[in-house]
Amino acid sequence: RGITWDSRPVIDNQDQRLIWSGPVEEEVGEWFHLDLTQAIQEELHAKPDATTFSIAIVPAEQQTTIGQHLKFRSKDYDEEAKWPKFTLQYIPPPVEVTRSPTVAPTTSPPTFAPTTIAPTVEGTKLIVSKPLDDTFVSGYHASTNFGDRSNVAVSQGSWPAQPWFANQQSFIKLDVSALSSQTGANTLVKATLSFLVASYETSAAVDEQADASISSKGQDTPPSIFEMELAVYPIVTSDQGWLEAGITWDTMPGVDKSQGAIWSGGIGRDIGEWFHLDLTQAIRDALTVSPDLTSYSIAILPLLEQHANKRGQILKFRSKEYDEEDERPKFALQYLPAPTAAPTVAPAFPTLSYTDYAMEDSYIYRAKIDDNFGSRDSLVVGYGGQNEDYISYLRFDARSLNGKIEEALMYLLVEDLTGSVDIDVHPVSFQEDLETEWSESEITWNNQPGTIDYGTVLWSGEVSQVGRWITIDLTNHLNQLMTSSAADPVTPFYFSIALVGVPILGE
């Protein structure tokens, strides 16, 4: 409040500060998404104590054609669901690190941030887990396994005095089962692997030419030495079954370099800092090829490999075996759950669709023979022997139906479950007069209709999963009722069914 054209804040419109430019192609009523990740990171790099960030949305050029006017909903709009949404996701620094965190080098991958999702879509889910497996291998100890170590390591360059540091590479396996077609094919939004830098060491052998360059130019340590340059590659699909407790240099899985590196660049050697690796696109590509993938593996290798005239460098990250949980690697997997398809009810007639709800429903309980449960918001079915039996009754009004019914389906949503339950659905004797039927507000175990036709099973099945719909086909039953209810086959009627746990008779 208070801002006017005359008092508006200054816009930083230098070319390098342009956050985004382009046409807004969304239709009226659609959401427009603007990624501010890099802009905010740059702002915090320049002003680490910044607590707010502002933007201006202006026309890209002076309009020389017809006038155009575009409006967005503001935070003062009446309907909260249509207010602008700002999604900010971050990983906090480990508690043990007491020094002020520094900003990752510009060559590092972007810090953890979600892909924009339309606010109208029900929220995404976030799983933060440790790797399934992580370890490193050593060319010096080619047959030794290091799967139980508290750090993983990558090394490059020459190590004449410490040859055991040479040729070290790390392997990481991650759980992506939430995205597999085997579990519903949820949609990946963001996948970020974060490591804590544990240690950095160098060898005594330095490239003399590099040293001469430093002396002649009066520079500090050049970037090639200040940062350790790494490359990340996927593991070949056929080797995804590797285990940290088994691999060595001689048996390590194959690295797939056919499509280039997932990421490559320098990592600062500051101890206690987090390194964030964006694996979103790499995992999406892997799922496109193998939709049933449940794990995804990467190899972290030195970018320069082993050059004899380069200073030896070794960088270690905390592994999932490290004692302090806060410093273990974290895999943040953000996804959008696959939509649960609602049941589609087929029309009762070729040209007419009719949908209705039960007009009466209740359940009875053998352990409380005189109690009525008609006001409860759930139906219960089950058996347990002795007095732990439940039967549910439902009655429907079919007076508006006539002629041949093409399809009649009843849907029940499983709300809660103990173990799995076998259920039979039986008809209750047909009554034309509503007053002679049972009432949901009065029915008990003692006064239940004694007319359940246990000899006729309309549906039978095992219920074993919460949140799923049960579909019960009543087509034949309704057609039989309509033709046998009276001499006139379209006499108005009601019908009832009973849901019974199996076995329940004879207990």
11 to each of 68, 130, 269, how far by Cα in Å? Answer: 22, 43, 37
Which residue type does 215 have? S
For residues 155 and 306, what is the distance between their CA atoms, to the nearest angstrom?
A: 8
My answer on whether 450 and 396 are in the same domain is: yes
How far from chain centre, in Å, is Cα 263?
23
My answer on whether 364 and 396 are in the same domain is: yes
pLDDT band at 16 (very low <50, low <70, confident <90, very high): low
Could you tell me the two tokens for 37?
């990740």
pLDDT band at 91 (very low <50, low <70, confident <90, very high): low
Phi–psi pair at 276, nearest 5 degrees: -110, 125
Closest among 325, 332, 136, 334 to 247, alpha carbons compared: 136
Look at residue 83 in the predicted model and tell me its pLDDT: 87
Examine the pLDDT at 401 and tell me if it is beyond 80: no
75 to each of 31, 78, 279, how far by Cα in Å? Answer: 14, 8, 34
pLDDT band at 490 (very low <50, low <70, confident <90, very high): very low
73 to each of 32, 78, 80, how far by Cα in Å? Answer: 11, 10, 10
Look at residue 281 in the predicted model and tell me its pLDDT: 92
Examine the pLDDT at 386 and tell me if it is beyond 80: no
Flag whether 313 is in a domain: yes
pLDDT band at 240 (very low <50, low <70, confident <90, very high): confident
Higher-pLDDT residue of 214 and 432 is 432
Candidate from 16-25, 299-308, 392-401, 481-490 with smallest mean pLDDT: 481-490
Examine the pLDDT at 118 and tell me if it is beyond 60: no
C-alpha gyration radius of the chain? 34
Q: For the residues 33-52, what does the mean pLDDT come to?
A: 80
Look at residue 484 in the predicted model and tell me its pLDDT: 67
Flag whether 32 is in a domain: no
DSSP 257: -
Flag whether 410 is in a domain: yes
Look at residue 297 in the predicted model and tell me its pLDDT: 94
How many separate helices (H) and strands (E) can be counted in the chain?
Answer: 5, 18
Candidate from 127-141, 142-156, 183-197, 237-251 with smallest mean pLDDT: 183-197
Q: What DSSP line would sit under 272-324, residue for residue?
A: T-EEEEE-HHHHHHHHHH-TT--EEEEEEEESS---TTSB-EEEEEE-TT-SS
Four-point Cα dihedral 269, 275, 280, 286, nearest 10: 60
My answer on whether 316 and 364 are in the same domain is: no
How far from chain centre, in Å, is Cα 55?
30
Flag whether 383 is in a domain: yes
Look at residue 116 in the predicted model and tell me its pLDDT: 35
For residues 176 and 287, what is the distance between their CA atoms, to the nearest angstrom?
A: 9
Closest among 309, 296, 321, 347 to 193, alpha carbons compared: 296
Look at residue 174 in the predicted model and tell me its pLDDT: 94
Look at residue 210 in the predicted model and tell me its pLDDT: 41
Helix (H, G, I), strand (E, B) or coil at 452: strand
State pLDDT tens for residues 333-365: 888 887 665 555 544 334 445 677 888 899 999
> What is the length of the chain?
507
Examine the pLDDT at 236 and tell me if it is beyond 50: yes
Candidate from 4-18, 180-194, 213-227, 274-288 with smallest mean pLDDT: 213-227
Last residue of a domain, one of 300, 335, 370: 335
My answer on whether 302 and 420 are in the same domain is: no
My answer on whether 297 and 370 are in the same domain is: no
Are 173 and 133 within 8 A, CB to CB? yes
Are 317 and 195 within 8 A, CB to CB? yes
Q: For the residues 226-252, what does the mean pLDDT come to?
A: 88
Flag whether 43 is in a domain: no
Look at residue 299 in the predicted model and tell me its pLDDT: 95
Examine the pLDDT at 106 and tell me if it is beyond 60: no
Flag whether 285 is in a domain: yes
Beta carbons within 10 angstroms of residue 148's beta carbon: 10
My answer on whether 364 and 494 are in the same domain is: yes
For residues 43 and 23, what is the distance between their CA atoms, to the nearest angstrom?
A: 25
Flag whether 134 is in a domain: yes
Examine the pLDDT at 209 and tell me if it is beyond 50: no
Number of domains making up the chain: 2
My answer on whether 278 and 417 are in the same domain is: no
Higher-pLDDT residue of 173 and 436 is 173
Closest among 121, 124, 120 to 80, alpha carbons compared: 120
Flag whether 441 is in a domain: yes
Q: What DSSP line would sit under 180-220, residue for residue?
A: SGGGT-PEEEEEEEEEEEEEEEE-S---HHHHHHHHHHT--
Do the bridges between strand 360-365 and strand 263-268 make them parallel or antiparallel, or are there none, so unpaired?
unpaired
Q: For the residues 410-415, what does the mean pLDDT come to?
A: 88
How far from chain centre, in Å, is Cα 432?
52
Higher-pLDDT residue of 14 and 471 is 471
Could you tell me the two tokens for 173?
């396996």
Higher-pLDDT residue of 53 and 182 is 53
Look at residue 463 in the predicted model and tell me its pLDDT: 87
Rounded mean pLDDT of the chain?
A: 77
My answer on whether 261 and 396 are in the same domain is: no
Examine the pLDDT at 76 and tell me if it is beyond 60: yes
State pLDDT tens for residues 270-288: 788 888 999 999 999 998 8
My answer on whether 316 and 454 are in the same domain is: no
pLDDT band at 141 (very low <50, low <70, confident <90, very high): very high
Look at residue 448 in the predicted model and tell me its pLDDT: 85
Beta carbons within 10 angstroms of residue 121's beta carbon: 12
Range of the domain at 293: 125-202+227-335
Could you tell me the two tokens for 349?
């007639």
Last residue of a domain, one of 300, 320, 335: 335
For residues 293 and 286, what is the distance between their CA atoms, to the nearest angstrom?
A: 8
Strand partners, 363: 392
Examine the pLDDT at 294 and tell me if it is beyond 80: yes
State pLDDT tens for residues 467-483: 888 889 988 888 887 77
My answer on whether 371 and 330 are in the same domain is: no
Look at residue 161 in the predicted model and tell me its pLDDT: 82
Look at residue 109 in the predicted model and tell me its pLDDT: 36
Percent of the chain with pLDDT over 90: 23
Look at residue 295 in the predicted model and tell me its pLDDT: 92
Burial class (CB in 10 A: 0-12, 13-18, 19+), 459: middle
My answer on whether 384 and 460 are in the same domain is: yes
My answer on whether 235 and 328 are in the same domain is: yes
Examine the pLDDT at 247 and tell me if it is beyond 90: yes
